[in-house]
Structure 1
Amino acid sequence: MEHIHDDFSIEVLQCKQWKERNRKNNFFELVYVLEGTGFHSVNHIRHPYNRNGIFLLPAARCHSYILEEETTFLFVRFTNHYFTSRIRDSVDYSNWFNKLNFILANHDHHSGELINDPDDRFQLKRLLDVIRYEYEKKEDCSPFIIRNTLASALALISRNIQRKVFDHMDLKDRRFADLVTYINSQIMEPEKLTVSHLSDKFHISEKYFSQYFKRNAGETFQDFVLRSRLRIAASRAKFTDTPFRNIAFDLGFTDSSHLNRMMKKYTGKGMRETRKEIQA
């Protein structure tokens, strides 16, 4: 594997037969099929892949490929440093870090295409083609272009997963849908998730906010935010090897014990049990 930058790495791999790869992810890996056909197997469930197929692989997941013909893959791997702020960059990567956590928490992690919408899938392919081009070009500005293109790709993926979440919630109030989108995009920014801030931003009376939210969501605002954070915590426990204390700190819990208590209270399972679900 060739590391383009400390915060992400890219590999183009041509295979006649699939061999287990020694990979270590903090979040997930995007897989783009440049050439070839075969089957992608996740937890022993097979799904066919073809040229231009795009998949998402979490870090800790039993998966393999059964090649019908020689296949060329583009792998884009993220590390923890990808979304740290950079003085020289014009993009606020904390927003993309939130999107990455949202994708991890709400993606179903099944085999098969990552995006079903044909137009969005075409746009994602174009972005990945840019990433491959800059990977092969290897000029001084290539890492910056790749990083910004990845940010756009994550926004596209996040939008499609958000649609699935909305379909499940059956949201009919457009303003409330925008409110939920904003909460999900800022889930790790507690100063932006106060009732005062949200009421002002979405022009909802602060006194009326709690009633408005519960009527539309079917649960209190506080429970919604907590459950959202716990979904992220559960996904990071299952699909990464991030220490529990780091997960707790990232998500605003006092410490790993506090996170573990909340996880048990709301899901019936602690963090260790949750991690073993997928790594057993």
Structure 2
Amino acid sequence: MQAGKIESLHQSLEVIYKKIDYCPLKDLQLTFFQMVYVIAGHGYLNINGHRITYKTGNLMLLTPNDYYNFEMEETTEFLLIRFTSDYVNRYQWKNICEIECLLYYSTHLTGCILRNEPDYPLVRSIIQALLHGIHQDDLYEEDLRMHYVNALIVIAARNIAKIKPAHLKVNADKRILDIINYIQSNICSPEKLKAPVIAAAFGISDSYLGSYFKNQCGETIQHFIAQYKLRLIEHRLQFSDRRIHEIADEFGFTDESHLNKFFKKHRNVSLSQYRKDVAA
């Protein structure tokens, strides 16, 4: 192994236990997702030029193309859960569109991705079950491992979803959080994202909805919807082989031309050119 080595996965899912006190390699590059649970120990995770502290009980998520290495302050026990994009795509998630995007865009988070306090003991119990399974060869152990990992993926996604607009008020009320969740859950259904429909769903006037959203989030509701949709479309262009017309159908655009016009307006580049640029 040499510094800067690209790490690849030879199967769609791996669960690995490691106990280490020194990581000599720098800037390892991933080609897969890697959830890192800290069983014991503390130190630093260097990822994409950022230095983040870690400690016992933290769950961190690294994504494809991330560069990373660990600096241990003391001997650390990790459980590494590694899975490919294909693994995520094959499973029949109820909200696959949102889960994919949340996982890919998690790298702006700092350190532990857990934001929901009750999830800490839940994650800890799943980790213990996975650790137990590593040393067992019982009937259905592989199926159990997949179910445990899938549960962790959903827990990770719902915690990442709690990271809301950058300018969202710290003391934002529950209704604005519910509106944001509604938008994210219905991002592929344009009819449900019209202001009168959203306003009716939450019992407020559509004239008030606009000013209320901007006051709470620091941006217009139209801008938030467009940017969230663009992130998903960029994800499709970069990480999937779906054709443009398939992406247009998925997000409720009338045709390729309609989608291309929307994308070019916001990104100043065509869909095909964007796909070429990210593949270069």
TM-score range, shorter chain: 0.5 to 0.7
Residue 214 of structure 1 is matched in structure 2 by 210
Q: Equivalences for 1:1-280 in 2 at 5 Å?
A: 7-18=12-23, 19=25, 23-25=30-32, 28-83=33-88, 93-96=93-96, 98-105=98-105, 107-115=106-114, 119-165=118-164, 168-170=167-169, 172=172, 174-187=174-187, 189-190=188-189, 193=192, 195=194, 202=201, 204=203, 209=206, 211-218=207-214, 223-234=223-234, 242-243=239-240, 245=242, 249=246, 252=251, 262-267=262-267, 271=274, 275=278
Post-superposition CA distance 1:236-259 (Å, at most 9, x none): 77xxx625756984563766x976
Larger radius of gyration: 2
Q: Deviations over 1:159-185 (max 9, x none)?
A: 433333168423856444323213213
Name the CA distance, whole Å, in 2 between partners of 1:156 and 1:245. Answer: 27
CA contact (8 A) 2:30 2:67 kept: no
Q: TM-score, normalised by structure 2?
A: 0.67
Aligned residues: 260
Percent of aligned pairs sharing the same letter: 20
Deviation at 1:74, TM superposition (A): 1.5
Shift of 1:149: 3.2
Greater fraction helix: 1
Q: Select between 32-41 and 261-270 the one with higher mean Cα deviation.
A: 261-270
Mean alpha-carbon deviation: is it higher for 266-275 or for 30-39? Answer: 266-275
Aligned equivalents of 2:139 and 2:149: distance in 1? Answer: 17
User: Residue 113 of structure 2: SS of its match in structure 1?
Assistant: coil
State the SS of the aligned residue for 2:159.
helix
Q: Give secondary structure in 2 for the equivalent of 1:163.
A: coil
Q: Structure 1: how far apart are the matches of 2:123 and 2:158? A: 12
Q: Residues 214 and 49 of structure 1: is their aligned pair in 2 closer, same or farther, counting only changes over 3 Å?
A: same
Matching residue's letter, 1:229: K
Q: Which moved more, 1:124-133 or 1:265-274?
A: 265-274
Change in CA separation of 1:197 and 1:73 when aligned onto 2, cut-off 3 Å: farther
- When residues 93 and 70 of structure 1 are mapped into structure 2, their CA distance, relative to the original with a 3 A threshold, is same
- CA apart distance, 1:30: 0.8
TM-score normalized by structure 1? 0.67
For residues 224 and 111 of structure 1, what CA distance do their matches in structure 2 show?
22
